[in-house]
Every structure is written in structure tokens, then in C-alpha cells.
């Protein structure tokens, strides 16, 4: 079984900004509190991801590569709206890769940094541009940004 251990934080400044990000379109076929089925399309590939219930920063995750055309068709015809649009950047800070998502469309204005860990109790240094932790706040789950976009808060 695949396990994801991920912590999420709000971003407080543009000090992280470097290089170029990749455009991501992401939608959900299934949304409920116990599981989600996500479709993601990027310029470098497309994926179908199944995630289980979050238990703190941990949850089961299974991800499979799918044809980009299939992902785009699913996003346009089957996934709930609005489809999540964002630009994802990767920044290495003190040995860990942080993914910074700058949301577009209905979620414009939201910028979140995520870091994947090997263990839930793993210690790590937070970059200076990372603020409040929102790992346990369901408002910031991508799947919840479909039904209640950031601009509607």
C-alpha cells in the first residue's frame, strides 16, 4: 500500500520564487470524506490518484500514469467543477523538496507549500517563507477547493 505523509503550510512571501513552475489541471471523480479519486494533467504527464482518509498528516495513496488525452477528457467531462488550476513550483530547502502551489481561477490568491516526509515525527527546518500550518484544516484540501473555492471564503 502506498502511504503519503505530507504537511501543508500557507506561504507568507515571494522569497521562495525561483525558476518556472508547471501548469497543473486537477479534478475529482469522487469526493467524500473517506476517499477521493483525482485526475491530474500536466505538460509532463497525467495521473489517476486514489487517496484514503487522512489520519493526521498520513493517508493511503495510489497513483497511476494515464494517457494525457484521457486525463483531459475526464477533466472536461466527468470531474466536478471548478477544475483546480495551479502552477506548481519545486524548491529544495535544507535537503527537502517543497512543492509550492500557486492557485489560479476560482482559487486565485491562495499559495500553499507542501512537504512530503518519510515519517510523521520527522523533524525538518521550515523555510522563512512558510507560515501557518494548515495540514489538519480541511478548507485547504484540494478536493474541498472544488466545492468551496478560496475566492468564496
Distance CA 124, CA 126 (A): 6
Show the cell assigned to 115: 512537504
What SS3 state is found at 85? Answer: strand
Q: Could you tell me if 140 and 111 are in contact, meaning their C-beta atoms sit under 8 angstroms apart? A: no
Determine which one of 28, 47, 64, 89 is catalytic: 28
Query: Which cell goes with 147?
Result: 466545492
Q: Is 28 a catalytic residue?
A: yes
Q: Are 29 and 79 in contact (CB under 8 A)?
A: yes
Q: Which residues are catalytic?
A: 28
Amino acid at each position: 500500500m502506498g502511504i503519503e505523509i505530507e504537511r501543508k503550510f500557507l506561504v507568507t512571501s515571494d522569497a521562495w520564487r525561483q525558476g518556472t513552475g508547471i501548469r497543473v489541471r486537477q479534478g475529482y471523480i469522487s469526493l467524500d470524506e473517506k476517499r477521493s479519486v483525482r485526475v491530474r494533467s500536466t505538460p509532463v504527464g497525467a495521473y489517476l490518484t486514489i487517496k484514503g482518509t487522512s489520519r493526521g498528516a498520513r493517508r493511503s495513496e495510489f497513483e497511476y500514469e494515464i494517457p494525457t488525452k484521457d486525463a483531459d477528457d475526464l477533466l472536461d467531462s466527468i470531474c466536478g467543477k471548478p477544475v483546480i488550476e495551479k502552477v506548481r513550483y519545486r524548491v529544495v530547502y535544507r535537503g527537502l523538496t517543497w512543492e509550492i502551489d500557486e492557485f489560479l481561477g476560482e482559487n486565485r490568491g491562495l499559495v500553499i507549500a507542501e512537504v512530503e516526509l518519510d515519517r510523521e515525527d520527522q523533524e525538518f527546518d521550515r523555510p522563512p517563507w512558510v507560515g501557518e500550518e494548515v495540514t489538519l484544516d480541511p478548507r485547504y484540501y484540494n478536493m474541498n477547493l472544488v466545492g468551496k473555492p478560496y475566492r468564496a471564503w
